[in-house]
Amino acid sequence: MKLLQTLIFSTFLVLLVVLADTKVFASANVGYFQTLPQQSDTIRRDTTKRPMKKSSLDSKLEYYAKDSVVVDKKNEIQYLYGGARVKYEGLELDAEFIRFDNKNKLVFARGSTNDKGRYFGRPIFKMEGQGTSMADSLSYNIEIGNGVVHGVFTEQEGGFFSGGRTKMQPDNEFHVHNTTFSTCNLPHPHFGIQISKGIATEKHIITGPVYMKFEDIPMPLGLPFAFFPKPNKKASGFILPTPGEDATKGFSLLGGGYYLAFNDYMDARLITNIFTNGSYDMNLVSNYTKRYKYNGNLNLTYSSTRNGLEGTPEFEPVKTIMIGWTHSQGANARPGSTFSASVNAGSSRHNALTAGNGTYDPNRFLQNSLRSSISYGRVFGDGLFNFTSALSHSQETQTRNVSLTLPDVSLNMTTISPFDSKKRVGEAKWYQRLTLGYSMNATNNVSTTEDLLFTKGGFNRFTNSVNHNVPISLPFTLLKYLNFTSSVNYSEKWDFKTVRNRYIRTNSGYEIRPDTINGFKRGAQYSLSTGMSTKIYGIKQFKGNGAIKAMRHVMTPTASFSYTPDFSRESLGYFLPAQYYTDDLRPGMSVPTGEYVRDNLGNPLLYSVFMNGGPSQGRNGSIGFSVDNNVELKVRDRKDTTGVGERKLAILQGLTFNTSYNIFAKEKKLAPINFSGRSQFTEKLGINFNGIFSPYTVGEVPFTSGTGADAVTTFSYREIDRFVWQDGKLPRLTNFGFSFDYSLNPEAFKRRNENLDQLNQQAPAASRTQAQIDALNAISRDPNAFVDFNIPWNFSFSYRFDYNNPLGRPETRTVTNTLNFSGDFNLTPKWKITYSSGYDFKAKNLSQTNFSIYRDLHCWDLSATWVPFGLYQSYSIDIRVRASVLQDLKLSKRKGFYTTY
């Protein structure tokens, strides 16, 4: 008896899961009619198309056939052979053979069998207000509205009914016999629920005995009768978990839970991960949408994680949370205004402790930062002004530092030309080119640690300020080829809190203890700048029949000058002298000693009273130099069969050198020389590189700490104010990096896109279910989240090298290089293996490594994932029903891409 109860319960559970997962009975149409792609008509309609003129018909009848038409005028019966079609009132019917009885208003249609025994030309019919369906044969009374369909194949929101016998009643009720329901989109499905007999109405289905069937083999899982509500909307149901094992947490059940279908606009999934060592995760995911208005999702996670051995401190549960929310507004929902949200916040240790919430996706548990933004924008004043307001958050998972901006408000004015006229005819005069702009930014932010943010007084740490900026610009051209731009920039800063620093002597120098002063403080500054640029072209033609036809070098030199006055004068009150205070923690007892802090040149040290930047200190007169280079070759195209074809090959792209010279700086006036660029060696391989040259010599410099008898002098290497070429040397390379990536099968994405395009042509968007639309959108967003069996193999890798040596000495040199690779290959057309790994050159070991094996079961997905070593050593085996659109594309969803944040 206990075994029987278990079998009944298991069967009921499987039925619920299949029905909930595939969203059965969600069509607004009468049941048992499939929405199929629009059929292309290849029949020659002009040969046998004949409208009936005088008969017992009340409406116009149109019929034709590719082969022949036989008309029995006496009995008013038409026999149509080969590619036949009939259109009468709301009925459209295509089949290999059609018999139409005009007098009794009966229509019969069937396919035919060719010489090889293949049945073809099945009836495809469409009733008014309903979708298109396919059957082996049918008989239908147009006047009464009833009929019998044999071997029907029809879709209902991602589920398919096939086979058996269906009787259509005049009251939109259907009687079915020996019909199979499945998520497999083949007319002969691999698996399904066999309904021996049943009645389907618009709101429910009542059946007799039902049982599971796999590969036409009946399973001992069934029910003597069943009642399924058919509310024409999404249905709720259980989600089966995936079993697995984690080397740290033990055996697991991942991804199990319950699906809630509230209505056509909102749903939710409650998913849990359970481990045998007592760890668990709870995840609530809700999606919502309103067509043409907005859409988004909400993701809430709570986890309790245990590590280590029972009885040790590490075994105590660590509670973590995560909050994810995305929201986007339709482009035409509210013209002139926008609203969007992207929230990813929570406990810094969550992804590392939970292995990416049980996904074992290295992109998640190696994530170093979390960021969020909620923003609203509006354009007004006939497009002249743009207002935005945003709440933002950033969080470093390693240091656990948190920065909040609540809110960040901006008001920007479109650049205007105050001296230009809308009625101007001809070229603008020089003063009419002058432009004026305005922008305002107000912020209220705080930077603290995760554990102090919500403590008492945590929100008192917020600082707020308002910044105004007015740019004025005037472009002009001299000597035809020299393009100049001159500008004046005025800015003001309003702070509602300022800072006063107390400098306390320590053994290594001094310690700064800031005090916050409430009150309004205004700071203003301005700057002047001008810039010039031009282009220089060099072309070299090569004669003969060589592969290289020509070379072109485009050089873009740029020179600029900017000047900013000194705003650190004492009369302005923007900067204060730094002085030492007595070391006393009692309120009001730390007083100035009268001694001022000096910099390494012996000058008095000043500090800004503004908390988040303000007017600049010291004069700055900077001359900037930059030159950009692009080198291209024109080579013979070997793929061109005419022998005269040519193509361009970029040798150097964006090779840029830039530096600046500050004429008012007291030392080291010339800035480091930066360079960057990219090179395309072949059509498939290109590299990016960047680096820094230092023009200064490195020497030993004395440093004295302490005073009097406690004074200690040490020597250390650092850059000194002496150019290297004064010693007959070239500038020193202090930083260099380059990277490249390469795919041995670059046709992979191209073939995937071709598959998607083919599917888009076959299935018009209007005939797709919402489940199919969602699946196609997911593929478009992230093709890497799916395994493509149409691609037999792929291998790609990326490499990055970084060299850093600021002083050009062995003890200051660091070298890092990383190699990552991934790929997949088909063992057979139905088996695919994927892998991803890398090599850590510093640790001399492999980095995070994953192996997965997938089996294409057409309407099912079978996958196994294995992490062989490392912190997240684990394995899992998963089998699930595949969405119908993925069956067409032969795509499987990867294990590690289930969550949305």
pLDDT tens-digit series, residues 754-768: 555 555 554 444 444
- C-alpha 195: how far from chain center: 42
Residue 525 predicted with pLDDT over 90: yes
pLDDT at 484: 92
Ramachandran region of residue 122, left (φ > 0), alpha (ψ -120 to 50) or beta? beta
The CB-side HSE value for 89 (13 A sphere, CA atoms) comes to 11
At 27 the pLDDT is 27
Burial of 717 from C-beta contacts in 10 A (0-12 / 13-18 / 19+): middle
What would the pLDDT profile of 644-701 be if each residue is shown by its tens digit?
678 787 888 889 999 999 998 888 899 999 999 988 766 667 788 999 999 999 988 8
At 409, is the pLDDT very low, low, confident or very high (cuts 50, 70, 90)? very high
- Whether residue 184 contacts residue 190, with contact meaning beta carbons closer than 8 Å, is answered with yes
Cα–Cα distance for residue pair 834/825, rounded to 1 Å: 7
What gap in Å lies between CA 44 and CA 83, rounded to an integer? 9
User: Per-residue pLDDT tens for 370-388?
Assistant: 888 899 999 998 889 999 9
Token readout for 754 is 């071709």
Which of 189-198, 651-660, 793-802 has the weakest average pLDDT? 189-198
Q: Tell me what pLDDT residue 8 has.
A: 37
Given a cut of 60, is residue 510 above it in pLDDT?
A: yes
Cis before 187? omega within 30: no
Cα–Cα dist 670/662, whole Å: 7
Angle between helices 770-781 and 747-762 (to 10 degrees): 160
pLDDT at residue 17, as a whole number = 37
Tokens coding 324: 């994810």
CA distances from 839 to 421, 796, 867 (A): 64, 14, 15
Q: How confident is the model at residue 561 (pLDDT cuts 50, 70, 90)?
A: very high
What CA–CA distance (Å, rounded) separates 397 from 351? 9
Weakest-pLDDT range from 46-50, 101-105, 432-436: 46-50
- The 10 Å Cβ neighbour count of residue 336 is 9
Element (H, E) at 551: strand 548-564
In one-letter notation, the amino acid at residue 441 is: N
40: CB partners within 8 A, 6+ apart: none
Question: pTM, whole model, 2 decimals?
Answer: 0.60
Residue 291: the pLDDT is 81
Categorize the per-residue pLDDT at 773 as very low, low, confident or very high, splitting at 50, 70 and 90.
low
178: left (phi over 0), alpha (psi -120 to 50) or beta: left
pLDDT of 97 strictly over 70: yes
DSSP codes of every residue in 142-211: TTTTEEEEEEEEEEETTEEEEEEEEEE-TTS-EEEEEEEEES--SSS-SEEEEEEEEEE-SSEEEES-EE
Which pLDDT value is given to residue 785? 57
> What is the structure's pLDDT at 345?
86
DSSP state at residue 618: S
Parallel, antiparallel or unpaired: strands 592-596 and 606-608: unpaired
pLDDT of residue 532: 94
- On average, the pLDDT of the chain sits at 78
Q: Which of 290-294, 554-558, 618-622, 822-826 reaches the highest mean pLDDT?
A: 554-558
Cα–Cα distance, 338 to 388 (Å, whole number): 9
Percent of residues in the chain assigned helix, strand, coil, to nearest 5: 10, 55, 35
Q: Tell me how far apart the alpha carbons of residues 722 and 674 are, in angstroms, rounded to a whole number.
A: 19
- Where in 784-849 does DSSP place strands (E)? 786-788, 793-804, 814-828, 831-840, 845-846
Q: Would you call 862 exposed, middle or buried from its count of C-beta atoms within 10 A (0-12, 13-18, 19+)?
A: middle
156-185 tens-digit pLDDT? 554 677 777 777 776 667 777 777 777 676
The tens digit of pLDDT for each residue in 809-831 reads: 888 899 988 888 888 888 887 78
Q: What pLDDT, on the 0 to 100 scale, is given for residue 736? A: 95
**The dihedral of CA 207, 212, 213, 214: what is its sign?**
positive
Name the more confident of 779 and 328: 328
**pLDDT surpassing 80 at residue 309:** no
Strand partners, 881: 860
Q: Are 257 and 277 in contact (CB under 8 A)?
A: no
Buried b (16+ CB within 10 A) or exposed e, 120-148: ebbbbbbbeebbbbbbbbbbbbbeeeebb
Where would I find the H helices in 763-874? 770-781
